[in-house]
Amino acid sequence: MSGDAVSSAARSLLDRAARLYAHDPAVSAQVADCIRRLDQPLRIAVAGAIKAGKSTLLNSLVGQAVAPTDATECTRVVTWYRHGQHPTVTARMADGSAANVRVVRVESGLSFDVSDLDSDRIEHIDVEWPAPALAATTIVDTPGTSSLSHDVSARTLAMFAPVEGTSNADAVVYLLRSLSEGDVSFLKQIAAHIASDAGPLGVIGVVSRADEVGAGRIDSMNSAHEMAARFAGELERNGLCQAVVPVAGLLAFAAKTLREAEFSAFLALAAVPVDDLTLALLSADRFGRPDMPLPVDPGLRAELVRRFGLFGIRLAVTMIRLGVRDSTALAAELLQRSGIEELRTLIDIQFGQRAEQLKSHSVLTGLARVLQAHPVGDSGRLLVDVQRTLADVHGFAELRLLGRLRTTKSPLPEADQAELVRLIGGLGVHPVRRLGLLEQADRGTIHAAAVAAVHKWRQRAKHPLLDRGTAKACEVAARSAEGIVKQLAQV
Protein backbone atom coordinates (compact mmCIF):
# COMPACT_ATOMS: atom_id res chain seq x y z
CA MET A 1 0.00 0.00 0.00
CA SER A 2 1.05 3.60 -0.60
CA GLY A 3 1.26 5.98 2.34
CA ASP A 4 -2.21 7.37 1.62
CA ALA A 5 -3.68 3.88 1.18
CA VAL A 6 -2.35 2.54 4.46
CA SER A 7 -3.45 5.72 6.26
CA SER A 8 -6.94 5.27 4.82
CA ALA A 9 -6.99 1.62 5.89
CA ALA A 10 -5.86 2.59 9.39
CA ARG A 11 -8.64 5.19 9.66
CA SER A 12 -11.22 2.64 8.62
CA LEU A 13 -10.04 0.16 11.26
CA LEU A 14 -9.94 2.88 13.92
CA ASP A 15 -13.49 3.97 13.03
CA ARG A 16 -14.64 0.39 13.60
CA ALA A 17 -12.85 0.38 16.95
CA ALA A 18 -14.46 3.69 17.92
CA ARG A 19 -17.91 2.22 17.33
CA LEU A 20 -16.99 -1.02 19.10
CA TYR A 21 -15.87 0.78 22.29
CA ALA A 22 -18.34 3.67 22.26
CA HIS A 23 -19.69 2.39 25.59
CA ASP A 24 -16.26 2.48 27.31
CA PRO A 25 -14.95 6.06 27.87
CA ALA A 26 -11.43 4.99 28.85
CA VAL A 27 -10.84 2.78 25.82
CA SER A 28 -12.63 5.26 23.54
CA ALA A 29 -10.13 7.90 24.64
CA GLN A 30 -7.23 5.64 23.59
CA VAL A 31 -8.83 5.02 20.18
CA ALA A 32 -9.52 8.74 19.71
CA ASP A 33 -5.86 9.47 20.49
CA CYS A 34 -4.83 7.02 17.75
CA ILE A 35 -7.13 8.77 15.27
CA ARG A 36 -5.63 12.18 16.13
CA ARG A 37 -2.11 10.78 15.67
CA LEU A 38 -2.77 10.20 11.96
CA ASP A 39 -3.31 13.94 11.42
CA GLN A 40 -0.31 15.06 13.47
CA PRO A 41 3.34 15.41 12.36
CA LEU A 42 5.57 12.37 12.49
CA ARG A 43 7.07 11.88 15.96
CA ILE A 44 10.79 11.16 16.07
CA ALA A 45 12.29 10.48 19.49
CA VAL A 46 15.96 11.03 20.28
CA ALA A 47 17.19 8.55 22.87
CA GLY A 48 20.44 7.22 24.33
CA ALA A 49 22.53 7.02 27.47
CA ILE A 50 23.41 9.99 29.68
CA LYS A 51 25.83 12.44 28.02
CA ALA A 52 25.48 10.72 24.66
CA GLY A 53 24.89 14.13 23.06
CA LYS A 54 21.12 13.95 22.49
CA SER A 55 20.37 17.65 22.98
CA THR A 56 23.36 18.73 20.87
CA LEU A 57 22.24 16.43 18.05
CA LEU A 58 18.67 17.75 18.33
CA ASN A 59 19.92 21.32 17.98
CA SER A 60 21.94 20.27 14.93
CA LEU A 61 18.90 18.67 13.29
CA VAL A 62 16.66 21.69 14.01
CA GLY A 63 19.42 24.15 13.06
CA GLN A 64 18.73 26.34 16.07
CA ALA A 65 19.65 26.27 19.76
CA VAL A 66 16.27 25.07 21.05
CA ALA A 67 17.33 22.25 23.41
CA PRO A 68 19.29 22.92 26.63
CA THR A 69 22.64 21.12 26.69
CA ASP A 70 23.47 21.90 30.33
CA ALA A 71 22.85 19.16 32.90
CA THR A 72 19.91 20.70 34.79
CA GLU A 73 16.61 19.35 36.07
CA CYS A 74 14.97 19.90 32.67
CA THR A 75 17.19 17.21 31.10
CA ARG A 76 15.59 14.68 33.49
CA VAL A 77 12.19 15.22 31.84
CA VAL A 78 10.81 14.12 28.47
CA THR A 79 10.64 17.24 26.28
CA TRP A 80 8.54 17.65 23.13
CA TYR A 81 9.67 20.07 20.41
CA ARG A 82 6.81 21.12 18.12
CA HIS A 83 6.33 23.84 15.55
CA GLY A 84 4.69 27.01 16.80
CA GLN A 85 4.31 30.62 15.72
CA HIS A 86 6.02 31.94 18.85
CA PRO A 87 8.57 30.40 21.23
CA THR A 88 6.78 29.04 24.30
CA VAL A 89 7.85 26.49 26.91
CA THR A 90 5.22 24.83 29.10
CA ALA A 91 5.52 22.23 31.85
CA ARG A 92 2.70 19.68 31.72
CA MET A 93 2.13 18.32 35.21
CA ALA A 94 1.05 14.80 36.10
CA ASP A 95 -2.21 16.12 37.59
CA GLY A 96 -3.21 17.75 34.28
CA SER A 97 -2.22 21.30 35.19
CA ALA A 98 0.32 23.40 33.28
CA ALA A 99 2.92 26.01 34.15
CA ASN A 100 4.98 28.39 32.05
CA VAL A 101 8.72 27.70 32.06
CA ARG A 102 11.20 30.56 31.97
CA VAL A 103 13.82 30.38 29.20
CA VAL A 104 17.23 31.72 30.21
CA ARG A 105 20.40 32.22 28.21
CA VAL A 106 23.53 30.52 29.48
CA GLU A 107 27.03 30.15 28.06
CA SER A 108 26.10 26.94 26.23
CA GLY A 109 22.93 28.41 24.69
CA LEU A 110 19.48 28.12 26.26
CA SER A 111 18.27 26.59 29.49
CA PHE A 112 14.80 25.98 30.91
CA ASP A 113 14.40 27.17 34.51
CA VAL A 114 12.16 24.71 36.38
CA SER A 115 13.68 25.51 39.78
CA ASP A 116 10.35 26.75 41.13
CA LEU A 117 8.57 23.53 40.03
CA ASP A 118 8.70 20.02 41.45
CA SER A 119 10.42 18.17 38.60
CA ASP A 120 9.07 14.84 39.88
CA ARG A 121 5.55 16.12 39.18
CA ILE A 122 6.34 17.21 35.61
CA GLU A 123 4.99 14.68 33.13
CA HIS A 124 6.70 16.37 30.18
CA ILE A 125 7.77 19.76 28.85
CA ASP A 126 6.19 21.18 25.70
CA VAL A 127 8.34 23.47 23.56
CA GLU A 128 6.76 25.31 20.63
CA TRP A 129 9.31 26.96 18.37
CA PRO A 130 9.07 28.65 14.93
CA ALA A 131 11.72 26.41 13.35
CA PRO A 132 11.01 25.19 9.77
CA ALA A 133 12.49 21.77 10.61
CA LEU A 134 9.65 21.21 13.11
CA ALA A 135 6.84 21.93 10.64
CA ALA A 136 6.48 18.30 9.50
CA THR A 137 8.22 16.55 12.38
CA THR A 138 7.83 16.65 16.15
CA ILE A 139 11.09 15.75 17.91
CA VAL A 140 11.06 14.30 21.41
CA ASP A 141 14.16 14.57 23.61
CA THR A 142 14.31 11.88 26.30
CA PRO A 143 16.27 11.53 29.56
CA GLY A 144 19.31 9.24 29.55
CA THR A 145 18.43 5.57 29.43
CA SER A 146 21.23 4.65 31.87
CA SER A 147 20.40 7.25 34.49
CA LEU A 148 21.39 6.44 38.06
CA SER A 149 17.84 7.44 38.94
CA HIS A 150 15.42 4.62 38.20
CA ASP A 151 12.55 7.13 37.96
CA VAL A 152 14.36 9.11 35.22
CA SER A 153 15.08 6.04 33.09
CA ALA A 154 11.51 4.84 33.68
CA ARG A 155 10.15 8.08 32.17
CA THR A 156 11.97 7.35 28.92
CA LEU A 157 10.82 3.74 28.84
CA ALA A 158 7.21 4.74 29.56
CA MET A 159 7.36 7.22 26.69
CA PHE A 160 8.38 4.48 24.23
CA ALA A 161 6.70 1.48 25.81
CA PRO A 162 3.64 2.40 27.87
CA VAL A 163 2.05 -0.38 29.88
CA GLU A 164 -1.07 -0.04 27.72
CA GLY A 165 -1.75 1.81 24.49
CA THR A 166 0.39 3.28 21.73
CA SER A 167 4.05 4.21 21.85
CA ASN A 168 4.52 7.98 21.76
CA ALA A 169 7.20 7.63 19.05
CA ASP A 170 6.74 6.70 15.40
CA ALA A 171 10.50 6.48 14.84
CA VAL A 172 13.67 6.64 16.92
CA VAL A 173 17.15 8.07 16.55
CA TYR A 174 19.22 6.18 19.14
CA LEU A 175 22.61 7.57 20.16
CA LEU A 176 25.47 5.20 20.97
CA ARG A 177 28.85 5.86 22.55
CA SER A 178 29.51 2.13 22.73
CA LEU A 179 27.31 -0.92 22.24
CA SER A 180 26.57 -1.81 25.84
CA GLU A 181 24.25 -4.42 27.27
CA GLY A 182 22.05 -1.57 28.45
CA ASP A 183 21.74 -0.17 24.91
CA VAL A 184 20.77 -3.56 23.48
CA SER A 185 18.27 -4.19 26.28
CA PHE A 186 16.62 -0.81 25.78
CA LEU A 187 16.45 -1.21 21.99
CA LYS A 188 14.75 -4.57 22.46
CA GLN A 189 12.08 -2.93 24.61
CA ILE A 190 11.60 -0.19 22.00
CA ALA A 191 11.34 -2.82 19.24
CA ALA A 192 8.58 -4.58 21.14
CA HIS A 193 6.42 -1.45 20.80
CA ILE A 194 7.30 0.31 17.55
CA ALA A 195 8.34 -2.75 15.56
CA SER A 196 7.40 -6.40 15.41
CA ASP A 197 8.87 -9.87 15.36
CA ALA A 198 9.72 -9.32 11.69
CA GLY A 199 12.28 -6.65 12.49
CA PRO A 200 12.60 -2.89 13.06
CA LEU A 201 10.68 -0.25 11.16
CA GLY A 202 11.84 3.11 12.42
CA VAL A 203 15.10 2.92 14.36
CA ILE A 204 18.32 4.61 13.22
CA GLY A 205 21.47 4.39 15.32
CA VAL A 206 23.97 7.23 15.62
CA VAL A 207 27.56 6.93 16.81
CA SER A 208 27.35 10.23 18.65
CA ARG A 209 30.18 12.60 19.50
CA ALA A 210 31.98 10.85 16.65
CA ASP A 211 34.83 13.36 16.71
CA GLU A 212 35.84 11.94 20.10
CA VAL A 213 36.19 8.36 18.81
CA GLY A 214 39.71 9.12 17.57
CA ALA A 215 40.52 11.51 20.44
CA GLY A 216 39.82 14.52 18.23
CA ARG A 217 42.39 13.54 15.58
CA ILE A 218 41.80 14.72 12.02
CA ASP A 219 40.92 11.11 11.03
CA SER A 220 38.42 10.66 13.89
CA MET A 221 35.43 10.36 11.55
CA ASN A 222 37.11 7.47 9.70
CA SER A 223 37.39 5.60 13.00
CA ALA A 224 33.78 6.47 13.78
CA HIS A 225 32.62 5.10 10.41
CA GLU A 226 34.35 1.79 11.18
CA MET A 227 32.67 1.71 14.59
CA ALA A 228 29.28 2.48 13.02
CA ALA A 229 29.70 -0.42 10.58
CA ARG A 230 30.42 -2.82 13.46
CA PHE A 231 27.45 -1.59 15.47
CA ALA A 232 25.16 -1.79 12.41
CA GLY A 233 26.10 -5.41 11.74
CA GLU A 234 25.47 -6.44 15.33
CA LEU A 235 22.18 -4.54 15.72
CA GLU A 236 20.79 -5.65 12.36
CA ARG A 237 21.57 -9.28 13.18
CA ASN A 238 19.53 -8.82 16.35
CA GLY A 239 16.73 -7.09 14.44
CA LEU A 240 17.04 -3.87 16.42
CA CYS A 241 18.12 -1.12 14.03
CA GLN A 242 17.97 -0.21 10.32
CA ALA A 243 21.23 1.71 10.00
CA VAL A 244 24.00 3.31 12.05
CA VAL A 245 25.83 6.49 11.05
CA PRO A 246 28.51 8.54 12.83
CA VAL A 247 27.75 12.19 13.65
CA ALA A 248 29.84 14.89 15.32
CA GLY A 249 26.89 16.86 16.67
CA LEU A 250 28.97 19.62 18.25
CA LEU A 251 30.72 20.33 14.96
CA ALA A 252 27.46 20.15 13.02
CA PHE A 253 25.76 22.80 15.15
CA ALA A 254 28.83 25.04 15.25
CA ALA A 255 29.14 24.84 11.46
CA LYS A 256 25.46 25.68 11.02
CA THR A 257 25.92 28.79 13.18
CA LEU A 258 29.48 29.73 12.12
CA ARG A 259 30.29 33.37 12.88
CA GLU A 260 32.54 35.69 10.89
CA ALA A 261 34.74 36.28 13.94
CA GLU A 262 35.29 32.53 14.20
CA PHE A 263 36.14 32.26 10.52
CA SER A 264 38.66 35.09 10.91
CA ALA A 265 40.19 33.24 13.86
CA PHE A 266 40.54 30.08 11.76
CA LEU A 267 42.18 32.12 9.00
CA ALA A 268 44.72 33.44 11.48
CA LEU A 269 45.39 29.98 12.92
CA ALA A 270 45.89 28.55 9.43
CA ALA A 271 48.84 30.94 9.01
CA VAL A 272 50.60 29.47 12.06
CA PRO A 273 53.40 26.99 11.20
CA VAL A 274 52.01 23.44 11.16
CA ASP A 275 54.29 22.09 13.89
CA ASP A 276 53.58 25.03 16.21
CA LEU A 277 49.80 24.70 15.86
CA THR A 278 49.99 20.93 16.26
CA LEU A 279 51.74 21.38 19.61
CA ALA A 280 49.21 24.00 20.69
CA LEU A 281 46.31 21.63 19.89
CA LEU A 282 47.64 18.74 21.98
CA SER A 283 44.93 19.55 24.55
CA ALA A 284 42.15 22.07 25.12
CA ASP A 285 43.94 23.50 28.16
CA ARG A 286 47.17 23.99 26.22
CA PHE A 287 45.36 25.65 23.31
CA GLY A 288 43.62 28.10 25.63
CA ARG A 289 46.63 29.10 27.71
CA PRO A 290 47.17 32.89 27.71
CA ASP A 291 50.94 32.43 27.26
CA MET A 292 50.51 30.36 24.08
CA PRO A 293 51.92 32.48 21.20
CA LEU A 294 48.93 32.30 18.87
CA PRO A 295 47.36 35.12 16.79
CA VAL A 296 43.94 34.68 18.45
CA ASP A 297 43.15 36.00 21.93
CA PRO A 298 42.64 33.39 24.70
CA GLY A 299 38.96 34.21 25.18
CA LEU A 300 38.12 33.48 21.56
CA ARG A 301 40.29 30.36 21.63
CA ALA A 302 38.29 29.07 24.60
CA GLU A 303 35.07 29.80 22.71
CA LEU A 304 36.36 27.90 19.66
CA VAL A 305 37.07 24.86 21.84
CA ARG A 306 33.61 25.04 23.43
CA ARG A 307 31.82 25.38 20.10
CA PHE A 308 33.94 23.27 17.73
CA GLY A 309 36.08 21.00 19.90
CA LEU A 310 39.69 20.25 19.01
CA PHE A 311 38.59 18.09 16.07
CA GLY A 312 36.55 20.94 14.61
CA ILE A 313 39.39 23.41 15.01
CA ARG A 314 41.87 21.05 13.34
CA LEU A 315 39.42 20.35 10.52
CA ALA A 316 38.55 24.02 9.93
CA VAL A 317 42.22 25.00 9.75
CA THR A 318 42.96 22.10 7.38
CA MET A 319 40.09 23.12 5.08
CA ILE A 320 41.41 26.68 4.90
CA ARG A 321 44.91 25.45 4.15
CA LEU A 322 43.41 23.34 1.34
CA GLY A 323 41.85 26.39 -0.28
CA VAL A 324 38.57 27.31 1.43
CA ARG A 325 38.38 31.11 1.32
CA ASP A 326 35.08 32.23 2.85
CA SER A 327 32.87 31.40 5.84
CA THR A 328 29.99 30.03 3.73
CA ALA A 329 32.23 27.50 2.00
CA LEU A 330 33.87 26.53 5.30
CA ALA A 331 30.50 26.00 6.99
CA ALA A 332 29.41 23.73 4.12
CA GLU A 333 32.63 21.69 4.34
CA LEU A 334 32.34 21.27 8.10
CA LEU A 335 28.67 20.32 7.89
CA GLN A 336 29.43 17.67 5.28
CA ARG A 337 32.24 16.18 7.35
CA SER A 338 30.23 16.24 10.58
CA GLY A 339 27.97 13.47 9.29
CA ILE A 340 24.79 15.48 9.96
CA GLU A 341 23.86 15.68 6.27
CA GLU A 342 24.13 11.90 5.91
CA LEU A 343 21.86 11.54 8.94
CA ARG A 344 19.39 14.10 7.57
CA THR A 345 19.22 12.22 4.26
CA LEU A 346 18.71 8.92 6.05
CA ILE A 347 15.96 10.39 8.24
CA ASP A 348 14.24 11.86 5.17
CA ILE A 349 14.35 8.59 3.21
CA GLN A 350 13.62 6.22 6.09
CA PHE A 351 11.20 8.41 8.05
CA GLY A 352 10.08 11.58 6.27
CA GLN A 353 9.09 10.07 2.93
CA ARG A 354 7.33 7.21 4.73
CA ALA A 355 5.68 9.30 7.43
CA GLU A 356 2.14 8.10 6.72
CA GLN A 357 3.22 4.47 6.80
CA LEU A 358 5.14 4.89 10.05
CA LYS A 359 2.29 6.75 11.74
CA SER A 360 -0.17 4.11 10.56
CA HIS A 361 2.09 1.36 11.85
CA SER A 362 2.25 3.08 15.27
CA VAL A 363 -1.50 3.47 15.65
CA LEU A 364 -2.34 0.00 14.32
CA THR A 365 0.20 -1.62 16.63
CA GLY A 366 -1.34 0.34 19.50
CA LEU A 367 -4.86 -0.60 18.39
CA ALA A 368 -3.88 -4.28 18.36
CA ARG A 369 -2.82 -3.99 22.01
CA VAL A 370 -6.09 -2.29 22.92
CA LEU A 371 -8.08 -5.07 21.25
CA GLN A 372 -6.06 -7.76 23.00
CA ALA A 373 -6.39 -6.05 26.40
CA HIS A 374 -10.14 -5.33 26.09
CA PRO A 375 -11.88 -8.17 24.23
CA VAL A 376 -15.56 -7.40 23.52
CA GLY A 377 -18.04 -8.37 20.84
CA ASP A 378 -16.35 -8.39 17.42
CA SER A 379 -12.94 -7.32 18.75
CA GLY A 380 -11.46 -10.69 17.72
CA ARG A 381 -12.46 -10.19 14.09
CA LEU A 382 -11.21 -6.60 14.12
CA LEU A 383 -7.89 -7.75 15.61
CA VAL A 384 -7.45 -10.21 12.74
CA ASP A 385 -8.04 -7.40 10.23
CA VAL A 386 -5.56 -5.12 12.03
CA GLN A 387 -2.89 -7.83 12.05
CA ARG A 388 -3.54 -8.62 8.39
CA THR A 389 -3.09 -4.96 7.48
CA LEU A 390 0.17 -4.78 9.42
CA ALA A 391 1.42 -7.86 7.57
CA ASP A 392 0.26 -6.75 4.12
CA VAL A 393 1.68 -3.22 3.97
CA HIS A 394 4.54 -3.54 1.52
CA GLY A 395 6.31 -0.40 2.74
CA PHE A 396 7.00 -2.14 6.04
CA ALA A 397 8.72 -5.01 4.20
CA GLU A 398 10.80 -2.47 2.23
CA LEU A 399 12.03 -0.78 5.39
CA ARG A 400 13.09 -4.05 6.98
CA LEU A 401 14.86 -5.18 3.81
CA LEU A 402 16.75 -1.88 3.55
CA GLY A 403 18.10 -2.48 7.04
CA ARG A 404 19.30 -5.98 6.16
CA LEU A 405 20.92 -4.89 2.90
CA ARG A 406 23.01 -2.25 4.68
CA THR A 407 24.73 -4.86 6.82
CA THR A 408 24.44 -8.20 4.99
CA LYS A 409 26.50 -9.07 1.93
CA SER A 410 24.27 -10.20 -0.94
CA PRO A 411 25.24 -12.79 -3.59
CA LEU A 412 23.70 -10.50 -6.22
CA PRO A 413 26.09 -8.62 -8.54
CA GLU A 414 26.96 -5.19 -7.21
CA ALA A 415 24.98 -3.39 -9.93
CA ASP A 416 21.90 -5.51 -9.23
CA GLN A 417 22.12 -4.89 -5.49
CA ALA A 418 22.37 -1.13 -6.09
CA GLU A 419 19.30 -1.34 -8.35
CA LEU A 420 17.40 -3.37 -5.76
CA VAL A 421 18.15 -0.84 -3.01
CA ARG A 422 17.00 1.98 -5.29
CA LEU A 423 13.83 0.12 -6.33
CA ILE A 424 12.66 -0.52 -2.76
CA GLY A 425 13.07 3.16 -1.90
CA GLY A 426 16.61 3.34 -0.57
CA LEU A 427 17.23 6.62 -2.44
CA GLY A 428 13.68 7.98 -2.21
CA VAL A 429 10.14 6.73 -2.77
CA HIS A 430 9.11 8.73 -5.86
CA PRO A 431 8.78 6.43 -8.94
CA VAL A 432 11.54 8.18 -10.89
CA ARG A 433 13.91 7.80 -7.93
CA ARG A 434 13.02 4.14 -7.55
CA LEU A 435 13.53 3.44 -11.26
CA GLY A 436 16.64 5.57 -11.72
CA LEU A 437 15.00 7.82 -14.31
CA LEU A 438 15.39 11.53 -15.00
CA GLU A 439 13.07 13.81 -13.03
CA GLN A 440 11.32 14.90 -16.24
CA ALA A 441 10.54 11.33 -17.40
CA ASP A 442 7.02 11.07 -18.85
CA ARG A 443 4.37 8.60 -17.75
CA GLY A 444 4.98 6.22 -20.64
CA THR A 445 8.69 6.00 -19.84
CA ILE A 446 7.99 5.40 -16.16
CA HIS A 447 5.41 2.70 -16.96
CA ALA A 448 7.73 0.87 -19.35
CA ALA A 449 10.60 0.94 -16.85
CA ALA A 450 8.35 -0.31 -14.04
CA VAL A 451 6.98 -3.22 -16.12
CA ALA A 452 10.53 -4.19 -17.12
CA ALA A 453 11.54 -4.12 -13.45
CA VAL A 454 8.64 -6.39 -12.51
CA HIS A 455 9.72 -8.99 -15.08
CA LYS A 456 13.39 -8.73 -14.17
CA TRP A 457 12.95 -9.19 -10.43
CA ARG A 458 10.29 -11.87 -10.74
CA GLN A 459 12.75 -13.85 -12.84
CA ARG A 460 15.55 -13.20 -10.35
CA ALA A 461 13.36 -14.47 -7.51
CA LYS A 462 12.78 -17.78 -9.33
CA HIS A 463 16.47 -18.54 -9.89
CA PRO A 464 17.02 -22.07 -8.51
CA LEU A 465 20.43 -21.31 -7.00
CA LEU A 466 19.38 -18.30 -4.94
CA ASP A 467 19.19 -18.69 -1.17
CA ARG A 468 15.81 -18.06 0.43
CA GLY A 469 16.76 -14.65 1.84
CA THR A 470 17.97 -13.30 -1.51
CA ALA A 471 14.94 -14.75 -3.32
CA LYS A 472 12.69 -13.00 -0.80
CA ALA A 473 14.56 -9.72 -1.40
CA CYS A 474 13.96 -10.08 -5.15
CA GLU A 475 10.25 -10.70 -4.50
CA VAL A 476 10.08 -7.50 -2.44
CA ALA A 477 11.73 -5.58 -5.31
CA ALA A 478 9.22 -7.05 -7.79
CA ARG A 479 6.31 -5.99 -5.57
CA SER A 480 7.77 -2.49 -5.35
CA ALA A 481 7.82 -2.28 -9.16
CA GLU A 482 4.25 -3.66 -9.30
CA GLY A 483 3.24 -0.92 -6.91
CA ILE A 484 4.50 1.71 -9.35
CA VAL A 485 2.51 0.12 -12.19
CA LYS A 486 -0.60 0.08 -10.01
CA GLN A 487 -0.01 3.68 -8.91
CA LEU A 488 0.21 4.83 -12.56
CA ALA A 489 -3.00 2.99 -13.42
CA GLN A 490 -4.87 4.86 -10.69
CA VAL A 491 -3.81 8.33 -11.89
List, for residues 224-241, the tens digit of each pLDDT value: 999 998 888 888 777 788
Give residue 96's pLDDT band: very low, low, confident or very high (50, 70, 90).
confident
Give the pLDDT band (50/70/90) at residue 150.
low
pLDDT for the residue 199: 46
148 vs 323, more confident: 323
Q: Looking at the domain assignment, is residue 456 inside a domain?
A: yes
Question: Is the backbone of residue 323 left (phi > 0), alpha (psi -120 to 50) or beta?
Answer: left
Q: What percent of the chain has pLDDT over 70?
A: 93
pLDDT of residue 401: 86
Judge whether 454 lies within some domain. Answer: yes
Instruction: Tell me if 30 is assigned to some domain.
Output: no
Q: What pLDDT does 478 receive?
A: 96
Alpha carbon distance 82, 64 (integer Å): 13
- Let me know if residue 324 belongs to a domain: yes
pLDDT winner (highest mean) among 105-114, 385-394, 446-455: 446-455
pLDDT beyond 80 at 214: no
Is the pLDDT higher at 137 or at 191? 137
Tell me whether residue 95 is in a domain.
yes
Q: Of 109, 130, 151, at which residue does a domain stop?
A: 130
pLDDT digits (tens, 9 = 90+) for 380-391: 999 999 998 888
Q: Which of 62-71, 197-206, 411-420 has the lowest mean pLDDT?
A: 197-206
* Residue 4 forms part of a structural domain: no
pLDDT at 185: 83
Report yes or no on 349 lying in a domain. no
Domain count, the chain: 3
**Among the three residues 310, 338, 366, which one is the final residue of a domain in this structure?**
338
CB atoms within 10 A of CB 436: 14
Which pTM does this prediction carry?
Answer: 0.86
Confidence of residue 152 (pLDDT cuts 50, 70, 90): low
Domain end call among 338, 356, 376: 338
Structural domain including 333 reads: 252-338
| Least confident segment among 49-53, 125-129, 433-437 | 49-53
Is 481 part of any domain? yes
Q: Within its chain, how far is the Cα of 55 from the centroid? A: 13
pLDDT grade for 193, boundaries at 50, 70 and 90: low
